[in-house]
A and B are shown apart, each in its own frame.
Chain A
Amino acid sequence: MYQVIGRRLLQSIPMLLFISIVCFALIKFAPGDPVQSFVTPNMKPEDVERMRHSLGLDQPNYVQYFLWLKHLLTGDFGYSLVNNRPVLEQIVTRLPATVGLMGASLVIAVILAIPLGMIAALNRNRFVDKLLNLISYVGISIPTFWLSILLIYVFAVQLHLLPSMGMRTIGQDSFLDIVKHAVLPCIVLSFSFLSVYIRYVRSNTIGQLKEDYVQIQYAFGSSKLRILFRHVMKNVLLPIITLLGMSFGDLITGAIITETVFSWPGLGSLGVTAAFGFDYPIIMGITMFSSLMLIVGNLLADILYSVVDPRIKV
């Protein structure tokens, strides 16, 4: 087992390297200039050149790349071109915000999807099933920024029940306060994940219910619920796990629109600002992190797969 994990992790290194090269090339070949974001007509060209030089932008691209790589190997992710703060510090500060929000949304979605999906499967083609079906269709068809603004408008502005933006009330540091702020963005994200997961759970459950082992258990007198929890659930979980594993990669960058609308201080909003400003150290840092998460996620999914079903070897 450990050998396999080791081998997979080793294989991921050249992949990460390749990703970094592609990413860097994309940024550098686009006609954008990081210095652009703080140039005004008051500045003379010599001043702009001096700024560019101090940021190391006047060197050829491949030199910039190798310098970045060299620093990376010593754990130095460089400094943001825009505010000169260490990239690693910015990423680490914002990581919990994004992972927390996405993680919570995914967990909520899974926790709700399993029973809801099963209920839909058990009540096939009856009203409950059709209603859940319709709602899940809406969930995968609705633009997220629209839903976000709608929720803010209804719950914050009209009903004054929840805060409309940010991660916390200023000056407060309590966990409860953060949770209150997370409710609306979580609803948006969970709703879209839930809609996808419900469909999988439902169709898998339906498939499982036809299997022989279920009929046998039924014949032995086990209650429907028992069969569900002890046997069916296991097999239903499998594809969900793969889905979750694949979502790992999206954990960091999957919520950029929601983060932007709610001003949630996560990596998504940092990434968008950095991308528009061609702030390549930050973009590279975020890409490295999210690629790593993707690889780890796939690995975890494969491992969990084999744990849940011993027949499957990693």
Chain B
Amino acid sequence: MRKRTIFTSALIALTLVTSACSKQETAPQASPAGSPAASAAAQSGTPKNGGSLVMAVTTDPEVINPIYAGDRTTLTIDQALFAPLFQINDGKKTFYLADSLTASPDFLTYTLKLKNNLTWHDGQKLTADDVVFTIEKILDEKQHSFLRSSFIIGDKPVQVKKVDDTTVEFKLPQVTAAFEGALVQVFPIPKHIFENEADIEKSDKNNKPVGSGPFKFKEYKQGEYVALDRFDGYFGGKPHLDSVIYRVAKDPNASNLALQNGEINLKLIDPQDYKKINDTGKFTTIPYFEGRLAYMVFNLNIDALKKKEVRQAIAYALDKKQIIEASYTSLDFADPAPSILTPDTLYQAKDINPYNTDVNKAKELLKAAGADKLKLRLAYINSNKAQTSQALYVQQKLKEVGIEVELQPLDSAAFSKKALNKDNKDFDISFGGYIMGFEPDAYKSLYVSTEQYNYSHYSNKDFDTLWNQAAIETDTAKRAELYKKIQQVVADEMTVYPIAYTKSIIAIDKKYDGLKEAVTKPVVMFEDLSKIFIK
């Protein structure tokens, strides 16, 4: 019993000693300065087969079915369990289950050809029947899949038909340039499993998911982990790893410790943790663009912000580089953003007015607009560390031009509720972020005046027309022009102030390789886990 008391007092002493020691431990190691990408330049060694990969996810998965998946964890797990038809990265198309996708000259018919000899995890053949089934269920209102509206064009559904076992034909009711963007989200689900289910989302067949991805389902221990085993029949070739495990770890500090302890091999880390993790020398750190834009949006319901000179003034007062340093610790982890479209989106224009910092110009504009003693309320999600840093910075910087900023930290539910309220007047400026993918038409829901996510509440008929025209314009040069105009209008009106294209940072144990072939991908970390192996 005495041991306990000695134990407890020793504990405190031990902590002080070890924390002091740890500082010595990490100091002498040379941190690979300024070129984080270098440590990721994988010389592919000879792939050994075997071993497992444990990656951290912050929550339990929701329903493990790709036609419903919207949260990060489920999407990540689905990426390994299910294979898509094709994927697009940086404008380049990579075919997975599909072999080719061709459009008719009038762009009203698309023909998709599948690869031969595709199988599901349970051995059944994967054919055009499954693709047709998946699309039909997506379109079925009773199945309430959120992918449905991507396949409704001008109020009419896309029609899908099986031509033969490996060919599927899509007939569009109207021309749209955005069809590939819709199709890229489709990960087929097996018809023979779900065909008799009344409500696929509630079906308990989802408890033992059958997919066609590189790894098949082994077990799910609630609150602990989801374990997947290698699928030898994967069309892309047998995966090198034996198993992949998704470990549920809610607390980010605890999961960082688990990473250092070797209990987790792969996770996304914050820029603030980069130095610490990198200094241990045990991990390959890969910062990569998520195709994400962090932005600040002006609420045009507020009178003070109705004058565009005021908004422009604020844009000139802020310094994007400083914001990035405050919230992402270094310019290595984010690029200042001139445009509302991210670099991976088609037709992102490179020569938009970047609003280089000019405090004097800002003051002039404010004076001219008669707004030199403004008081603004800035709302943001309190659990978001980056937004908190940005809010503090903006508050400090706008003091220089005489604007007093009151911070309104809100929890995400309350924030969403206010932000989605079209008549919102509870706050004047707010932060946000989005990942919209390569198809610019997807941004419509954020910028067209009547759309739900038009947080700025900017309303201009001509602007809306630009979006509608660009959606159906099939000539790429003309399309590029239209989108360039859109970006310039937003920059001029300054309804949305783009801050940065942010990077995600993957930290993976050094013993893994094949990372380049696996392809980093926003949200799910890697696109194809079959390519990863242990050196």
Contacts and interface: CB of A to CB of B under 8 A. Distances in A.
Q: A and B touching (C-beta < 8 Å)? A: yes
A184 to B, nearest CB: 11
A79 B204 CA distance: 12
B24 interface: no
A170 B144 CA distance: 35
A119 B59 CA distance: 46
Contact of A160 (B60, B222, B261, B416): B261
Interface in A271-295: 273, 278
Contact of A131 (B5, B206, B414): B5
A226 to B, nearest CB: 20
B250 A191 contact: no
Interface residues of B, number: 64
B60 A83 contact: yes
Contact of B11 (A40, A154, A167, A264): A154
Contact of B223 (A42, A112, A269): A269
Interface string A240-273: 0000000000000000000011111110011001
Contacts of B247: 165-166, 170, 263
A135 interface: yes
Contacts of B261: 156-157, 160, 163-164
Interface in A90-131: 90, 93-94, 97, 112, 115-116, 119, 131
User: Which of A36, A38, A42 has the most B CB atoms < 10 Å from its CB?
Assistant: A42
Interface string B60-78: 1111000000110000000
A117 to B, nearest CB: 11
Contacts of A36: 412-413, 416
Contacts of B1: 112, 115-116, 119
A158 to B, nearest CB: 5
Given A45-B452, A94-B223, A263-B249, A154 B14 contact: yes
Given A31-B414, A165-B249, A265-B248, A94 B222 contact: yes
Interface stretch (B251-259, B370-378, B401-409): B251-259
Interface in A27-55: 31-33, 36-48, 50-51, 53-54
A258 to B, nearest CB: 11
Nearest to A85: B207
A135 B257 contact: no
A21 interface: no
B206 to A, nearest CB: 8
Interface string A67-97: 0000000000001001111000010011001
A170 B225 contact: yes
B474 interface: no
B446 interface: yes
Nearest to A44: B149
A168 interface: yes
B141 interface: yes
Nearest to B248: A263
Contact of A273 (B59, B224, B225, B453): B59
B3 to A, nearest CB: 11
A273 B247 CA distance: 16
Contact of A50 (B61, B141, B223): B141
Contacts of B99: none
A166 B224 contact: yes
A90 B223 CA distance: 10
Interface in B1-25: 1, 4-5, 8-9, 11, 14-15, 18-19, 22
Given A36-B413, A135-B5, A171-B227, 7 more contacts: A31-B414, A32-B414, A41-B446, A43-B70, A149-B254, A154-B14, A265-B248
30 contacts: A32-B414, A33-B413, A33-B417, A36-B412, A42-B436, A43-B146, A44-B445, A45-B452, A47-B145, A47-B149, A51-B144, A79-B202, A84-B206, A116-B1, A131-B5, A132-B5, A138-B8, A149-B254, A153-B257, A156-B261, A163-B263, A165-B254, A166-B247, A170-B227, A170-B245, A263-B248, A263-B250, A265-B221, A265-B223, A278-B413
Interface of A: 31-33, 36-48, 50-51, 53-54, 79, 82-85, 90, 93-94, 97, 112, 115-116, 119, 131-132, 135, 138, 148-154, 156-160, 163-168, 170-171, 191, 260-266, 269-270, 273, 278
